[in-house]
A and B are shown apart, each in its own frame.
Chain A
């Protein structure tokens, strides 16, 4: 199976409380770049689907990673190559020249060239929290989509049974490939992904794999192609325009109560909520 995994780097989500707004503009200076965690899960999922988990070094298929951005986003691609992806593509673009729709349209052109069986990506990037590229791409391609995947089972790499995490529980769907799947948090649990090459008894370590130093060195030699955005999308106009940012209203500081009885008294007589 050939899998294309689009990746995005985001300002370190664990430092999002350091997000500053200055004169209506978002300041990201001083924030460290990290791969979007959901995209890291997508890479891990792609690797699990294209290997025998008992011998993960031999890739049974191909995993291609792609990102959009300036030269320094190649760090994100190299990190994915180090964990096992085969090759990478960087679509050269300035960060502020992109929106989800443009990325989806450019990905469509890339998919038509690369012809993957599956596009796997994170359900959302934790900076803009938009949760849209997978769905837009699926529609532009005329492919089925399975969003918010918490589990994936490959049926001989012709179709996938995907457990989608929805508001009411887990919704299971069967998609015939090629398809777009966006992954949720629990896709990296030990038994979430069942590829056709891995024995059903095999349980993965929880979470994403880490690259060994040797693999990080070797990843520097893996192919990384650069493509121009204009070669993938003729219309580069953005459909969404951000005009300002502000911090959310602060909650006023609360109090600590000393005992359960005091808490109940406050809830009843002060907040009047019980």
Chain B
């Protein structure tokens, strides 16, 4: 029987919602699990994950664990995994998780499987499922080493609901510093200030393509504001500078699965589809009737987006009364 350590990802002193998908992974694996809240402010954040049925909530709260520099986090995650006798370490497949997980695996001599979308216990084996080739195929795989590290996709594993109870909270020690840590320094985080929900957590996403040009925000913001939506973008729109890079949805950007996804002026390259085709309802607005996006859209509208989107805002306002 495995013993799983779920690494909670913190942001602004809170546990990110993606962590709840990692808890779902642990439940699917059917094994006892603990949660490690690690980072500056972890002590305060830990209380939010004590109600999920974890055996323990481990906390490493240290002022040095600030800024998502994986060289600072990996030694302590690996040490906590070893000390607690955990054989599976789970992180979220966020940019932080993907940065840190392989380092943890290398420290533990563990095999690493990224972007897990499901897990099954078969006897004493864990069988993982993960997308490959931009989601054009799903692979089943096993990790052959005794210790295993995985990252899990928030878009494929539903967020776990609290199950009640109160897991005991326990402090774990900060590991000794790595040589590598002395050679990396945090310079700054340039983040566009936004009141919008995170792409990974939004119920609705309004995404735009290159066709929007300089009017990207001018056209999409009213629709996003009305629906409380996150804004996403195609690679072409980001490359052209119409939208910031962190809004990119796709194989190599964010992978999302909201209830409702608007693809506005996005042709639908396979790399983009890889990042959004798990969405529940997809709406495409494009003036090219042959655009591949229409093959995955539940509702397609062939129209000039500069007319259709403002009209959509007006009609939605009417419909919402």
| A-to-B contact residues, CB < 8 Å | 11, 13-14, 16-17, 19, 21, 26, 38, 100-101, 104, 123-124, 126-132, 135-136, 138-140, 142-148, 150, 161, 163-176, 179, 184-186, 189, 237-248, 251, 253-257, 259-261, 263-268, 271, 273-274
Contacts and interface: CB of A to CB of B under 8 A. Distances in A.
Contacts of A135: 70, 98-103, 106
Contacts of A148: 95, 99
Nearest to A101: B111
28 contacts: A19-B136, A100-B112, A132-B112, A135-B98, A139-B74, A142-B179, A166-B95, A169-B189, A171-B189, A172-B187, A173-B185, A174-B184, A174-B185, A179-B184, A185-B252, A239-B112, A240-B111, A240-B144, A241-B141, A243-B127, A245-B132, A247-B138, A251-B277, A254-B294, A254-B298, A260-B303, A268-B319, A273-B204
Given A101-B112, A184-B252, A273-B281, 19 more contacts: A129-B114, A132-B102, A136-B112, A139-B74, A139-B180, A142-B179, A147-B99, A161-B187, A167-B254, A185-B252, A240-B113, A248-B131, A248-B138, A251-B277, A256-B301, A260-B312, A263-B299, A265-B319, A274-B316
A263 B142 contact: no
Given A16-B133, A174-B184, A243 B140 contact: yes
A50 to B, nearest CB: 21
Interface stretch (B23-31, B48-56, B160-168, B243-251): B243-251
A167 B180 contact: no
B102 A123 contact: no
A202 B71 CA distance: 34
Contact of B190 (A19, A172, A264, A266): A172
Interface secondary structure of A, over-half rule? mixed
Given A16-B133, A173-B186, A243-B127, A136 B319 contact: no
Contact of B300 (A11, A248, A257): A257
Given A19-B136, A124-B252, A131-B98, A170 B190 contact: yes
Contacts of A244: 139-140
